Amino acid sequence: MSFFPIFLSVVLVVRNQSANLEQLLTEAATSFDTLVSDYELIIVDNASNDNSVAVLKALTGERGPIPIHRS
């Protein structure tokens, strides 16, 4: 159950964070699940040169659709 009946959009900007993305998404989802009734995570990849995009695509397949934007 959440405290606030609101919809929240959260934008996360990442760059070369492939090793940290799973923990980031897990902690974000756990936190927002307890705070709001409905939310979306929008991931912006800021020109990573590691495999952040591939990791994000694999993780979003597990968690449902999460928009990933590349800059």
For 2-52, the pLDDT digits (tens) are 565 668 888 999 999 999 999 998 898 889 888 887 888 888 999 999 999
Q: Which residues pair with 36 in a beta bridge?
A: 4
Domain edges within the chain: 4-70
β partners of residue 52? none
2 residue type, one letter:
S
Structure tokens at 56: 């994000």
pLDDT at res. 50: 96
**Which two tokens mark 43?**
């991931």
User: What's the pTM?
Assistant: 0.73
Give the pLDDT of residue 33: 85
Residue 52's pLDDT is 93
